[in-house]
């Protein structure tokens, strides 16, 4: 007698997630020179991670690209060590590190063995307080940056994004200007010295440390950070973003088979009261694999392999955009389908099933952000530097938990006007 096995497909019932999400414990140390230190005990034995974060970046520049190039050149030599000796030091002590400047911050991120952490921190302080900006290294960096830029200008996604942000923020604004060959060439060593002197100061510094507690923690950080200079007299340049004007433009690139699309508008900074609500709207629309844009434009129509939406919010402003790469013949219909999905968000209440699915997805995402001491410390850095308070974590969790269909429709109506969108394409 034979039996025939049968498999039944489990029913997919998605209800509200479990909201017992708590932010890990940390300690805040206020340093007498105006700096702040945030510490968290690591769950990774023998390994520690820390970040030095300065609130400066593009928004404090007296000259275009000064922040980016200054940060790059910090590791090119100090009063006591050459660039090779600096690289050798980090290799010898098994450090993994990155140094970069973005629109609003400079970040020095470092991981190393716990037993070396004090040596490594003291060495980072030397980089931050005693750079000499060798002229020869600066000239080499300029050649590299210009070569890198020329390569990037052959990539449609790079071109479409830079032209989109230039339009949304204004081509001469801090957030909107683009790197050019002439911009790099105009920088000189004195520009770097001035930028470093004015903006790598104690009041602008926050340190995020995750590892075993350092013995005599407050005394250690007081002693270690005392060489970071206090703010000198500095006149902040005006932060001006021109009034938003929508535009439509194509940048032809004969070597490309497809086009890169950026479709969006100016929005608001991260501290805006509607940020977390629009974070939910954006997720539903196009910020995860099961999003409406992916289902419609990739799965149903096959216009592109990947399409996603983004809220690109900074300290002082922000934008929303949808990005995709596709054949030119599909462009008009893709935009039509995007507008169709935006209209649905405004006019039709999201089904309970879909809303709960998105809430569960984001619940898992938030849990991963605090799963382990290193990710939690990195998330703490975002909360403190970009939202000004760790309470933003609970605001995010609360919004994911409580947002309802009506609010999603109202936010979509308020911020996603199809007639207000900038359309930038680059490529074929």
What is the per-residue pLDDT for 158? Answer: 97
pLDDT at 319 over 60: yes
Give the bridge partners for 30, in sequence order.
Answer: 36
What is the per-residue pLDDT for 5? Answer: 41
What is the per-residue pLDDT for 255? Answer: 82
- Per-residue pLDDT band for 133 (boundaries 50, 70, 90) equals very high
**Alpha-helical regions (H) of 12-130:** 66-74, 83-92, 117-129
More confident residue, 332 or 236: 332
Cβ contact 221:37 at 8 Å: yes
Cβ contact 306:277 at 8 Å: no
Tell which phi-psi region holds residue 389, choosing left (phi > 0), alpha (psi between -120 and 50) or beta.
beta
Cβ contact 419:288 at 8 Å: no
134-158: per-residue pLDDT in tens? Answer: 999 999 999 999 999 999 999 999 9
Structure tokens that stand for 127 in this block:
């980089």
Give the bridge partners for 51, in sequence order.
Answer: 109, 208
Range 198-202 average pLDDT: 94
pLDDT at 387 over 70: yes
Q: Token pair 């699309």 is at which residue?
A: 261
Q: Token pair 């479409």 is at which residue?
A: 160
- % of residues, the chain, pLDDT over 90: 84
Q: Report the b/e string of 335-365 with b at 16+ CB within 10 A.
A: bebbeebbebbbeeebeeeebbbbbbbbbee
Handedness of CA 168, 169, 175, 177 (dihedral sign): positive
Structure tokens that stand for 166 in this block:
């230039």
Range 273-285 average pLDDT: 97
What is the per-residue pLDDT for 13? Answer: 46
Please compute, for residue 273, the number of CA atoms within 13 A of its CA located in the half-sphere on the CB side.
0
Terminal Cα-to-Cα distance of the chain (whole angstroms): 65
What is the per-residue pLDDT for 11? Answer: 45
- What is the set of domains in the chain, with CATH numbers? 27-225 (3.30.830.10), 248-427 (3.30.830.10)
What is the per-residue pLDDT for 7? Answer: 45
Measured at the alpha carbon of residue 287, what is the angle toward residues 282 and 288, in degrees to the nearest 5?
135
- Smallest CA-to-CA distance from 48 within 93, 112, 95 is with 112
More confident residue, 236 or 321: 321
- Per-residue pLDDT band for 232 (boundaries 50, 70, 90) equals confident
Cβ contact 330:336 at 8 Å: no
What are the percentages of helix, strand and coil residues in the chain, rounded to 5?
45, 20, 35
Cβ contact 321:264 at 8 Å: yes
4-43: per-residue pLDDT in tens? Answer: 444 444 444 445 555 667 888 999 999 999 999 999 998 8
What is the per-residue pLDDT for 416? Answer: 97
Range 264-269 average pLDDT: 96
State the chain's mean pLDDT as an integer: 92
Cβ contact 108:97 at 8 Å: yes
**What values do phi and psi take at 130, rounded to 5?**
-130, 35
Neighbours of 211 (CB within 10 A): 24
Give the bridge partners for 282, in sequence order.
Answer: none
CA distance linking residue 372 with residue 155, whole number of Å: 36
pTM score, whole prediction: 0.90
Range 157-165 average pLDDT: 97
What is the biggest distance separating any 2 CA atoms in the chain, rounded to whole angstroms?
92
Residues 6+ apart with CB under 8 A from 23: 370, 376, 380, 390, 393, 394
Helix (H, G, I), strand (E, B) or coil at 421: coil
pLDDT at 201 over 90: yes
Structure tokens that stand for 215 in this block:
């013995």
- Per-residue pLDDT band for 240 (boundaries 50, 70, 90) equals confident
What is the per-residue pLDDT for 3? Answer: 42
**Beta strands 36-41 and 205-211, pairing class:** parallel
What is the per-residue pLDDT for 333? Answer: 97
Range 333-353 average pLDDT: 96
166-186: per-residue pLDDT in tens? Answer: 999 999 899 999 999 999 999
């Amino acid at each position: 007698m034979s039996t025939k096995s049968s498999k039944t497909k489990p029913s997919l019932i998605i209800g509200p997630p479990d909201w017992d999400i708590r932010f890990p414990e940390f300690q805040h140390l206020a340093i007498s020179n105006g700096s702040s230190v945030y510490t968290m005990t690591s769950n990774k034995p023998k390994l520690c991670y820390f970040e030095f974060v300065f609130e400066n970046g593009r928004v404090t520049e007296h000259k275009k690209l000064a922040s980016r190039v200054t940060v790059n050149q910090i590791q090119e030599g100090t009063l006591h060590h050459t660039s090779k000796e600096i690289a050798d030091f980090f290799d010898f002590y098994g450090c993994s590190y990155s140094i970069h400047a973005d629109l609003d911050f400079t970040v020095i991120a470092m991981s190393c063995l716990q037993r070396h952490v004090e040596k490594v921190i003291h060495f980072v302080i030397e980089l931050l307080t005693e750079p000499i900006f060798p002229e020869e290294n600066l000239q080499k960096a300029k050649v590299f940056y210009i070569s890198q830029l020329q390569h990037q200008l052959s990539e449609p996604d790079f071109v479409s994004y830079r032209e989109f942000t230039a339009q949304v923020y204004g081509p001469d604004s801090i957030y909107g200007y683009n790197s050019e060959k002439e911009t790099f060439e105009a920088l000189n060593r004195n520009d770097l010295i001035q930028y470093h002197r004015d903006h790598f100061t104690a009041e602008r510094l926050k340190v995020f440390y995750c590892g075993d507690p350092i013995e005599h923690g407050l005394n250690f950080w007081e002693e270690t950070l005392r060489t970071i200079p206090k703010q000198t007299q500095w006149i902040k340049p005006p932060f001006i973003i021109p009034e938003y004007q929508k535009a439509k433009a194509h940048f032809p690139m004969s070597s490309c088979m497809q086009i890169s699309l950026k479709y969006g508008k100016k929005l608001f900074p991260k501290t805006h009261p509607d940020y977390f609500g629009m974070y939910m709207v954006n997720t539903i629309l196009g910020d995860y694999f099961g999003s409406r844009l992916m289902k419609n434009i990739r799965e149903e129509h096959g216009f592109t392999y990947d399409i996603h939406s983004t809220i690109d919010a900074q300290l002082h402003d922000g934008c929303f955009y949808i990005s995709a790469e596709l054949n030119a013949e599909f462009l008009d219909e893709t935009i039509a389908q995007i507008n169709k999905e935006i209209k649905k968000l405004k006019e039709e209440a999201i089904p309970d099933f879909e809303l709960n699915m998105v809430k569960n997805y984001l619940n898992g995402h938030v849990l991963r952000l605090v799963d382990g001491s290193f990710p939690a410390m990195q998330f703490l850095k975002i909360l403190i530097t970009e939202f000004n308070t760790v309470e933003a974590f609970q605001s995010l969790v609360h919004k994911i938990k409580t947002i309802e269909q009506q609010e999603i429709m109202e936010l979509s109506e308020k911020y996603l006007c199809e007639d207000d969108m900038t359309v930038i394409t680059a490529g074929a």
